[in-house]
Structure 1
């Protein structure tokens, strides 16, 4: 019985709370163009989400981003920075310090079904946006965002807090941000201890079986 309990505990730690969630701004329809995304929209009990518009130097211009109905590539709805020449910033942070956030994917499209250059498009540490985790427009080389079919980014990156930065044009819109949470990896000692206990349980069960024959 002991070995079963240990294995269940190990499996519980390994797969706890891996269910994916999606921030889909379509859920906010109907709304007027230029409406602000509601504060914390898309947050779950495990992940807090907040929105900002940043200046090009990374300072906060405002604590919101705006919404638009159809017009950004083939997206039904898109969020964008609240002023042209600014940066959209969406940050996802694990509520539980023992959890990580995994950013699986998101979609970006150009306004008026026109390809647009993203001069700044990166995934950053949500606790320190100067810490770049993925840079899709390195060394000032813009990433061309299509205007016909939204581009699906699949960073599949994990951290305690993750930020998506997109700009510097409000002609760039984002939607369908998929994420999940996973536990902080446990020390190797835990796995060794758990395996040892489980093995001990199996050994005892084997001995017990022999005695009953």
Structure 2
């Protein structure tokens, strides 16, 4: 049954998967108990997982709101996570290429790049190590990632860096991952043929905030 569910979701658009998250409460909460112990269908397990990754609530609170036990919620996430990751990996084994450039001042932009943070609890560790997790810009303890999103709709996260301490500057994140951007942004022969006469650049461009200005010597920013 889980394999059937895996194949079904393999062909669904990402937007549809996101919309499924909106069905969590109406579907799972209203599903009647089966016997003395309630069980979840594979579809319901997926919905529990989508609720978990889209919410900042604790697992206990999510389980309570869905009227299931915390053990059931944990089991659903444990079973669904590897399947969904495998599906996404097979579906997006390589980042999609930019489409035909749209007219406008940013027609050559392929990636939108910025750093993002994920808050963590105040660590109970040595002060010097603790400082490494503190992000002075957002004034919180966190882990930081750099995300490169496609510039065309629907905007997909094509590259996500490894997590680093919140105190690491955005530029250092960029420097650690710039090589993969350079490789991706190089236009293929077919893409060069599709480019307009006014756009004869050999690579696509990146758009970032002012913190990235002057930091892409090999990339048009």
TM-score with structure 2 setting the length: 0.22
| Structure possessing the higher relative contact order (Cα contacts under 8 Å, 6 or more residues apart) | 1
State which structure, 1 or 2, has the greater radius of gyration over its C-alpha atoms. 1
Normalized per residue, which structure has more strand?
Answer: 1
